[in-house]
Amino acid sequence: MIYLDNAATTRMYDGAITLMAQACGERWFNASALYKEASDESRRIKEAREKVSAALKAGDGDVYFLSGGTEADNTALMCTRKAKGSRIIVGEGEHDAVINPAKQLKEQGFDVVFAPIKPDGGVDEEKFAGLLSCDVSLVSVMHVSNETGAVNDIKKLAALTKRVAPKAVFHSDGVQAFGKIKVNLRDLGVDLYSVSSHKIHGPKGIGALYVAKGAPVKPLVYGGGQEKGFRSGTENGPAVEAFAFAAEQTMRDFEANYSKKRNFIEQLKSELQSACPEVRIITDTERSAPHILTVAFGGVRGEVLLHALEKRGILVGVGSACSSHRESRFKTLLGLDEHYRDGIVRFSVSEFNDISQAAEVAEAAAEEAAKLREYARK
């Protein structure tokens, strides 16, 4: 099997699996209890928090563990202090974990506007600036597009926002950025930043929200007061430990793996362009994260091509796996003509992929696309 849907989820590191299994079997204690074993578990969670915080270069901001990127995004949008009816700016190409809470806020009477994206999936900075006003209370723009890998200049966008609306809260969904590009939260100037474990070879069901010192955000989940009162619920110690392990290993091997992923994507792009004349490259690889290549095959449906490749042992994506049951919003947002609009396929790699796979994938994609076009003509 050749797995090229790493933007959806990643294979866990062996060390993370071992650590999580060990934690589940040997130290399953509730970190909020009073006996020594519980205190030891609380200490391990504290150490894990410090590791994730260090990987994010979070400085004096707080890192709170939650159930994943979706909860982090929902907390960021729904739980920040916002003046009634104030303006909220959200990137047009955001993940549904941001888009759908934004729609809820619009129904509550907030002035929610969507910043347009460019053909590569990144936010149009000029049009974004045109949406800013002094009554903006919240901005949410993803760091890296989960659909195309486009990297947004979050530092610039945050500075623009604060210049016009100093009290606005700036949130960035960093789920596709963390571990893929360098993230320095001390430098970005964001108030809130979401990350997820299973995108960096850790377990599912655990993520984190960075909250800058003084950011006006309250809990989404109330209860026993865990996570310093920010996220109640018995701490998932084993998953937290495995998440921290994955974060440390990802950052330790960052440079080598960045180059490996970038080289794979560039090779795949070249092979696809040679093997398949009717392919349009959507990802601007000179300004994108290293792990995603999104293309559009002319005259075919991406979903059908996905299943054709699946039969050959090649697993790819057609956009966000979280919304695979619905039409991708990107079919219209990217401005593709009718010939290409339905043929979007997303290839996403990890350090476990080998560059020798690129030629095989391109050849298979070209062959299957040609078969599908021929079938469509009959």
Is 24 marked active-site?
no
- For residue 326, what pLDDT band results from cuts at 50, 70 and 90? very low
Strand, coil or helix: what is 18? helix
Q: At what angle do helices 69-78 and 96-107 cross, to 10 degrees?
A: 30
Instruction: Decide: 331 and 93 in contact? Cβ < 8 Å.
Output: no
Per-residue pLDDT at 238 exceeds 90 = yes
Per-residue pLDDT at 125 exceeds 60 = yes
Residue-level pLDDT at 136? 98
Q: Average pLDDT, stretch 78-86? A: 97
- What region does 85 belong to: left with phi over 0, alpha with psi -120 to 50, or beta? left
pLDDT digits (tens, 9 = 90+) for 164-222: 999 999 999 999 999 999 999 999 999 999 999 999 999 999 999 999 999 999 999 99
pLDDT digits (tens, 9 = 90+) for 270-307: 999 999 988 999 999 999 999 999 999 999 999 999 99
Per-residue pLDDT at 138 exceeds 90 = yes
Q: Average pLDDT, stretch 129-152? A: 97
Residue-level pLDDT at 325? 43
**Residue tagged active-site, from 24, 134, 276, 322:** 322
**pTM for this model (two decimals):** 0.95
Residue-level pLDDT at 319? 67
Helix (H) or strand (E) holding 279: strand 279-281
